């Protein structure tokens, strides 16, 4: 049985760009090869839910080695992208926190392959928001199919 989406997406324009890469860098500290978000397509009013995307390119640092001749976007980087979405949601809402360090991953599942040429959409939904701890559920989708999911815990550092 396929996993349920975190929230309804029928009315969301996945081609929209609410926040581009330059703006994401104003909020999140990740740069260069470690910036995993290319854009944010949608956020709800309270920034407790959001959808971002990453375009998977064939010139990324992991392509030659994971896996030669059959490049697969590493699962750990899918979760990193989800963590960056959770960070963006938190820091946009509470910029005084400055930096969110991630301290845990739970219930992670990888359900499909992501390869160069794919657009990975990331859905994030806040589960808990406190000044010393945040928890978000994340899912990654390619072509409407959930390819990864997990629960990410972070804290301000």
Q: CA–CA separation, 145 vs 119, rounded Å? A: 12
Does 1 reside within a domain? no
What pLDDT is attached to residue 154? 97
Does 11 reside within a domain? no
Catalytic annotation on 66? yes
Does 34 reside within a domain? yes
Indicate the pTM of the whole model.
Answer: 0.96
Does 63 reside within a domain? yes
7, 48, 62, 66: the active-site residue: 66
Does 128 reside within a domain? yes
What pLDDT is attached to residue 1? 72
What pLDDT is attached to residue 131? 84
Does 9 reside within a domain? no
Q: CA–CA separation, 73 vs 106, rounded Å? A: 20
CATH number for the domain harbouring residue 127: 3.10.129.10
Q: CA–CA separation, 93 vs 129, rounded Å? A: 10
Per-residue pLDDT tens listing for the chain (157 residues): 779 999 999 999 999 999 999 999 999 999 999 999 999 999 999 999 999 999 999 999 999 999 999 999 999 999 999 999 999 999 999 999 999 999 999 999 999 999 999 999 999 999 999 989 999 999 999 999 999 999 999 999 9
Q: CA–CA separation, 155 vs 31, rounded Å? A: 20
Q: Which domain holds residue 137?
A: 19-156
**Hey, what are 58's tokens?**
């064939």
Does 104 reside within a domain? yes
Cα 139 to chain centroid distance, Å, stands at: 8
Number of domains in the chain: 1
């Amino acid at each position: 049985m396929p996993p349920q989406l975190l929230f309804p997406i029928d009315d969301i324009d996945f081609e929209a760009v609410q926040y581009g890469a330059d703006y994401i860098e104003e909020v999140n500290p990740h740069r260069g090869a470690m910036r995993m978000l290319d854009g944010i397509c949608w956020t709800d009013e309270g920034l407790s839910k959001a959808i971002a995307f990453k375009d998977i390119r064939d010139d990324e640092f992991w392509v030659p080695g994971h896996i030669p001749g059959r490049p697969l976007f590493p699962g750990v980087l899918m979760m990193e992208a989800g963590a960056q979405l959770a960070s963006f949601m938190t820091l946009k809402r509470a910029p005084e926190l400055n930096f969110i360090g991630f301290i845990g991953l739970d219930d992670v599942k990888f359900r499909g392959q992501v390869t160069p040429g794919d657009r990975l959409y990331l859905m994030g939904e806040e589960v808990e928001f406190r000044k010393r701890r945040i928890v978000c559920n994340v899912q990654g989708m390619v072509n409407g199919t959930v390819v990864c999911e997990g629960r990410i815990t972070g804290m301000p550092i």
